[in-house]
Amino acid sequence: MMIFEKPSLRTRVTFETGMTQLGGHGIFMETLLGKRESTPDIARNLCRWVDLIMARTFAHKSVTDLAEHATVPVINALSDLEHPCQILADFLTILEHKRKLKGLKLVYVGDGNNVANSLLLAAATQGMHMTVACPQGYDPDKGVWSRAQALAARSKCKLAIVRDPREAVKGADVIYTDVWASMGQESERELRARIFAPYQVNQQLMALARRDAIFLHCLPAHRGDEVTDEVLDGPQSQVLDEAENRLHIQKAIMVTLYKHWQKNKAKYLKKKK
């Protein structure tokens, strides 16, 4: 079951195509969780009919509520706090082009949003150094930052938040950005455009990174805002490999979760009771 509170291109097509390629079937449902029916009731009903639930939501609590009350695996396909499926695809792309993760330098330029949050957790887990370049007041989530710092201490990598994007990208192996105003923030778009203007990823900024640095963007991109056409369509851009890898990584997620669920089903059902 694919639950969408937000519209989607990559998430919808890659999950549905992936499920079809695996021999299953994806059911699309566009709804606002908790409006017509409570999220716990939706979860309790769905798990009587389907083997997996994925949800693309506004509030992170909607995903956690589904997971708390469902008796089948629940996948976070995007919330206002994290975007884990995207980041797994990102790291697969980095691995393909750099042949390693540990010790690389990843620089995220822009709003400290759900993508930045999940990148921090993944980088810290894998021992990849990461710098977030963002304006004051637009830092990543404080709780996520604390979790990432604890993970980084174990993997011995360095995490940093800076204000100067030019200083941040020096020595970068990967430069990553996202839109300045996400879905639900449309009313802030003009204000954010002014605040984030110095954080545009353009050819001048890319030139300060390593010569073999790659550029990533979760898409959709607002061309001319957070990134220029020259970078997005340029030779360092790997955004289409990145988008393709959503399909491959999500198939792996679905297979892994379903196998784990089948192996431990009795234990989980007992715990839910």
Beta pairing partners, 177: 109, 217
* Cα-trace Rg, the chain: 19
Beta strands in 123-206, from DSSP E residues, in sequence order = 129-133, 159-162, 174-177
* pLDDT above 70 for 70: yes
d(CA 35, CA 27): 20
Q: Would you kindly state where each structural domain of the chain is located, as residue ranges?
A: 2-80+246-268, 84-237
How sure is the predictor about 186, in pLDDT bands with cuts at 50, 70 and 90? confident
Q: Give pLDDT tens digits for 99-153.
A: 999 999 999 999 999 999 999 999 999 999 999 999 999 999 999 999 999 999 9
Two tokens at 135? 């304006």
Taking residues 52-64, report their average pLDDT.
Answer: 97
Question: Strands of 129-133's sheet, edge to edge?
Answer: 159-162, 129-133, 105-109, 174-177, 214-217
∠ CA 170-174-180, rounded to 5°: 90
| Residue pair 228/202 in contact by the 8 Å Cβ criterion | yes
pLDDT, mean of residues 189-212:
97
Flag whether pLDDT at 269 surpasses 90: no
Q: Is a pLDDT exceeding 80 seen at residue 238?
A: yes
Structure confidence at residue 271 (pLDDT):
63
* Residue 7 burial (C-beta neighbours within 10 Å; 0-12, 13-18, 19+): exposed
On whether the 2-80+246-268 domain is CATH 3.40.50.1370, my answer is yes
Instruction: Please give the backbone phi and psi of residue 113, each rounded to the nearest 5 degrees, phi first.
Output: -95, -160
pLDDT band of 9, cuts 50, 70, 90? very high
The per-residue pLDDT for 189 is 87
Fold (topology level) of 84-237: Rossmann fold (3.40.50)
- At residue 44, the pLDDT reads 95
Which neighbouring-strand residues pair with 216? Answer: 176
Distance separating alpha carbons of residues 215 and 237, to the nearest angstrom: 5
Map residue 201 onto helix, strand or coil.
strand
What the block records as the tokens of 43 is: 């979860």
Give me 247's structure tokens.
């399909």
Give catalytic residue positions: 56, 83, 86, 178, 218, 246
